Amino acid sequence: MDGLQNYLELSADIPGWTRGVEAQALVRFCSAQPDDAVIVEIGAFFGSGSVLLGGACKVKNSGQVHCVDPFDGSGDPVSVRHYEAIIMAYAGKTQRERFDGNIRRAGLSEWVHAHQGTAVEVAEHWNTPVDLLFLDGDQSPDGARLAYEAWSPWLKVGGILALHNSDPRDYEMGHDGHYQLTQTVVVEPHYEILELNGTTTYARKRR
Ligand SMILES: C[S@@+](CC[C@H](N)C(=O)[O-])C[C@H]1O[C@@H](n2cnc3c(N)ncnc32)[C@H](O)[C@@H]1O
């Protein structure tokens, strides 16, 4: 766990939303992917989750991480005010510069690749089957559904879907998009629900 612990600590130093047991679970699922796995993170912000995923690939010496984000602080209205506060606190560089710098400092530039644009925009040019899909972009019901519809066809049968913010709880209005996915489309028999870890649901695509 030594190498992985290093990336858990680097990730925790970057403003982000995947912490503690959730960070450990994301690393665990990423590490368990087959050789040369294709990992996609929708919604990367400053790269905190990306460092977890890229670090797991680097320790294993296999796999590539693709991070999709407009890098402009946009998203659902509930989230945007949190993004704006962080971006202002880290003024002086663009969000993309923060992301690139964090990935470079973590020594992960060969493992993590940014695709600037929304989930739907980037999916229009995507052409590679995906082993692990981490959905953590627009959290609104419409935004989450659009990202899911654009990317889930690329998830391999047997591949893992990770849905952040999808545990059953009271959500602010318009912020329960991933939870709604677990109640509508990410369900048996299409998916095998593997575990709920913190707020993140892990499900294996069955068909
Ligand atoms: C919650 S943050 C991501 C956190 C990161 N995954 C982590 O583990 O710390 C969500 C990010 O998704 C971005 N985003 C918003 N709408 C998006 C969309 N339609 N497609 C892709 N990313 C989006 C936001 O701008 C923000 O940078």
Q: How confident is the model at residue 207 (pLDDT cuts 50, 70, 90)?
A: confident
**pTM here?**
0.98
Domains in the chain: boundaries: 2-205
Q: What is the structure's pLDDT at 1?
A: 44
The answer to whether 9 and 43 are in contact (CB under 8 A) is no
The residue whose two tokens read 């945007």 is 80
Q: Does domain 2-205 have CATH number 3.40.50.150?
A: yes
Q: What is the structure's pLDDT at 200?
A: 98
End-to-end CA distance of the chain: 33
Among the atoms of ligand 1, which is closest to the Cα of residue 48? 9
Q: What is the structure's pLDDT at 37?
A: 98
Determine the 3-state secondary structure of 163 from DSSP.
strand
CA distance 162 to 194: 10
CA distance 144 to 178: 6
Rounded to the nearest angstrom, the distance between the alpha carbon of 110 and the centre of ligand 1 is: 21
Q: How confident is the model at residue 2 (pLDDT cuts 50, 70, 90)?
A: low
The pLDDT tens digits for 55-72 are 999 999 999 999 999 999
Count of CB atoms situated within 10 Å of the CB of 100 = 17
Among the atoms of ligand 1, which is closest to the Cα of residue 15? 9
Q: For the chain, what percent of residues have pLDDT higher than 70?
A: 99
